[in-house]
Amino acid sequence: MKQRRWCAVPRRGSREDKCTPNVGDTVITRRNDWCLRTGNGRDWVRNGESWTITGLREDGSAAIRKAERRFGSSIVLPAVYLAEHVDLG
């Protein structure tokens, strides 16, 4: 599957933007970041992991959860991390 780069600032409903993410989309993180941890603190963002978007925020950040999980702790990725280190999968 061809992967697309994340947009610098996600904008819901933008027609001119082909890489606009939506809740339910799969993303792949491309940089380890020990500071970005799940609510329980047991897991963090790792290079090459698949995640599901569970929420998009007005400031450009996004809440994500491990792709293979339906429930559980989520992580909020800041807009800067999304723009530089996340691919839409």
Using the predicted structure, report yes or no on whether residue 3 has a pLDDT greater than 60. no
Lowest mean pLDDT among 5-9, 36-40, 41-45: 5-9
Considering the entire predicted model, what is its pTM? 0.75
Residue 3 · residue 28 · CB < 8 Å: yes
Q: What is the mean pLDDT of residues 16-37?
A: 83
Contacting residues for 39 by C-beta, under 8 A, at least 6 apart: 73, 74
Domains, the chain, in order of start with CATH, read 24-88 (2.30.30.40)
pLDDT level of residue 21 (50, 70, 90 thresholds):
confident
Task: Report which of residues 39 and 31 the model is more confident about.
Answer: 31
Contacting residues for 56 by C-beta, under 8 A, at least 6 apart: 10, 12, 21, 22, 23, 62, 63
